[in-house]
Structure 1
Amino acid sequence: MLRKGLYGIYGGVEFSITFDMDNNLKIMTENKEKIDATFEDTYQNGVYTKIVKPNEIVDCVSIIPFGIIKEEKVQILQEKENEYQVATGSLLVGSKLNLPRIDRDSWLGWVSKSEVMLIEEITPINSEDL
């Protein structure tokens, strides 16, 4: 599964971190095995969340996924079962990878996961700064 955004450890388990409209810090997951009765599925869509305090989360990181295809670095935007959606702002890279041009400075396309070396740029974050 593609990890992108903020993550942290709560109760020994890694969760994605988000904020609600009231600026409450929330942890979230789609994995029912990670949760207990204190989590809620507010919108009945299979995403479970819980409001927490920053000091309850440890090992916070920001994760930005990139990919290497034919020795070229590209952004990874999404994933499907066997593909990544990749993007670049470089004419040379877009042409080399045969990506469709979507506007003046953007090339975007789906590429087989087997062609991509996934790299996660991980930056530590102090949970008290969230």
Structure 2
Amino acid sequence: MVKKGKFTILGNKEYRIGKEGEDWVNLVSKDGEDAMNGFQPHPLDSTVLIKKVLKSELNLNYQINTYAIYKGHRLEIGSEKEDKILVGTGDSRLADELKLDRTDKYFYEKWIDKSEVQLVEEKKPISI
């Protein structure tokens, strides 16, 4: 699974940070066992659990951006499904070289097999 967004560590476990308030955030989980740790089902999606915590309880917060290396070039990741991943770029010369399809005025994409790319995660500390 491709990770993208804000994350934190709470109790030796990584959680995605969801909605944020002035002094709180919602932690997001898909692990049913987190229900025993105060997580509640999301009102719109019962497969997702959320827990409101104070920002002051969190001290290791970071932003993760994942990108794909395809034929030696760094590309953005759009989405993924089973064994395919959607890669893209705004660089028209690179898009021509990699035979990406124009999907917007200044953006090009292509579905490729996951086996053809190397996924690289960039993790940067953030304050919330």
| Same fold at TM > 0.5 | yes
RMSD over aligned Cα atoms: 1.7
For 1:63, the equivalent position in structure 2 comes to 64
The answer on 1:2 being equivalent to 2:2 is yes
Which runs of no fewer than 5 residues in structure 2 stay unpaired? none
Which runs of no fewer than 5 residues in structure 1 stay unpaired? none
For 2:35 and 2:99, locate their aligned partners in 1 and report how far apart those are by CA, in whole Å: 43
The farther-off stretch of 46-55 and 33-42 is 33-42
The answer on 1:119 being equivalent to 2:111 is no
For 2:34 and 2:75, locate their aligned partners in 1 and report how far apart those are by CA, in whole Å: 32
Deviation at 1:120, TM superposition (A): 1.1
For 1:43, the equivalent position in structure 2 comes to 43
Question: 1:1-130 counterparts in 2 under 5 A?
Answer: 1-19=1-19, 24-36=24-36, 38-45=38-45, 46-126=47-127, 130=128
Q: Which deviations, in whole Å up to 9, do the C-alpha atoms of 1:37-89 show, x marking residues without a partner?
A: 51111325211000001122232110111111011110012221111111100
Identity of aligned residues (%): 29
Judge conservation of contact 1:13–1:34 (CA < 8 Å) in 2.
Answer: no
The farther-off stretch of 1-10 and 89-98 is 89-98
Distance 1:28 1:74, change over 3 A: same
- TM-score, structure 1 as length reference: 0.87
Judge conservation of contact 2:84–2:112 (CA < 8 Å) in 1.
Answer: yes
Deviation at 1:121, TM superposition (A): 1.4
For 2:37 and 2:44, locate their aligned partners in 1 and report how far apart those are by CA, in whole Å: 15
Q: Which has the higher strand share?
A: 2
Amino acid at match of 1:57: L
